[in-house]
Amino acid sequence: MFRPQPVDPRQCSIDGVLLHVAKPIPGATETLRFLNEHSIPFILLTNGGGKLEADRVKDLSEKLGVPLTTDNFVQSHTPFRELVNAGGPDGKGFRDKTILVTGSDYEKCRSIAESYGFKNVVTPADILAAHRCVFPFAVVADVESAAGDGDRLATRPLPKPLHNTTAAPATAAERAGLLKIDAMFVLNDPRDWALDIQVLADLLLSEQGYMGTYSSKNGNASLPNHGWQRDGQPTLYFSNADLLWAAAYHLPRFGQGAFQAAIAGVWHRLTNGAAPLRRTVIGKPHADTYRFAERVLTAHRNDTLRRLGHLLEQAAEPQCAAAADSNSNPVAAVYMVGDNPESDIAGANGHVSDAGIQWLSALVRTGVWSEERDGHSVLTGVKKPTVVVPDVKAAVQWALQREGWDADF
């Protein structure tokens, strides 16, 4: 069964491909075991998030009954690690700056950001606790706590106080003593949409990210974008754009893409349609995520080849390892297995590899896409998969057969 070199790598989505809610989809465990036992490199690429990578991998390993590691695992927000030391307006990253994070669990989102290396992390709950008038309504956690169904919001003191007067801070010294948000990250599907939209909108309308201020440039028709988001406001980052995902209910449920659409709709009203919401979106199907995933997959494949004795050069730098791999053991193709034509399939088909690697896509029938409900008419253009198969086992068997393997397992 074993060939002199591993076959070309593959990527798998998780929800709707390997798991449905918390249970393995038939054939998923068997397929991953086969890949592991035959040293076939793969990564798990998901638009899910909201947990530390190590915690999510541990949970997946237990549910699937297959040992997994963080070396070949990418969540929607994993690429944000690269913004700790690079990126942002000055190209130096956000390590020592103050960022705001939100998602389904504020404290878990804070822990994730801090694990990546961000030092000053604020949540909407922190802002609400510091100035209750920011949002004059009950929040989800408070309602659940009062009903005995959950804990009250966990918060931390803000690193600096909010600006809470109508006059803009006049001096640099005054500014230095106030809370300034330099970037905003939506790490996974938010739970308290109303509070989050209010805080994010306040910062998008602010002067240079000082919470509680309002930019004098907003609505100025003489400026680019009518002055909206032209006064040093923090960049807004979304970790995925999935409108729908497969959950326990028999019909798909709203995902982070729905939240993004909601805030974009509010922004459209706030600006009278004069300026589209400027934001940065990663996750499938966006190119930055696929480039990041290809780097992770290449590194994982190189490690596999070294372990098997096929890549003998021990490169000192990661880019050298990739070069050695491309020279002696080139990757010809990557197979993307997914359940969502809008994200998994479109992302794979639209990805242009810097290394010239061909990407092929396999759409499974176990997740978001339903042949009965959606039909094949939606599978057009970039959303048209290379092949449609019943499940992940059939997808991997198809890929192996293309590579000349006996794929009967």
Peptide bond into 4 cis (omega under 30): no
Segment 2-11, tens digit of pLDDT: 333 445 676 6
Helix (H, G, I), strand (E, B) or coil at 358: strand
Segment 127-142, tens digit of pLDDT: 999 999 999 998 876 6
Per-residue confidence band for 165, with pLDDT thresholds at 50, 70 and 90? confident
272, amino acid identity: N
Q: Which of 262, 238, 188, 259 is nearest to 15 (CA)?
A: 188
Per-residue confidence band for 63, with pLDDT thresholds at 50, 70 and 90? very high
Asked if 47 and 240 count as a contact pair (C-beta separation under 8 A), the reply is yes
Segment 205-261, tens digit of pLDDT: 999 999 999 999 999 999 999 999 999 999 999 999 999 887 889 898 999 999 999
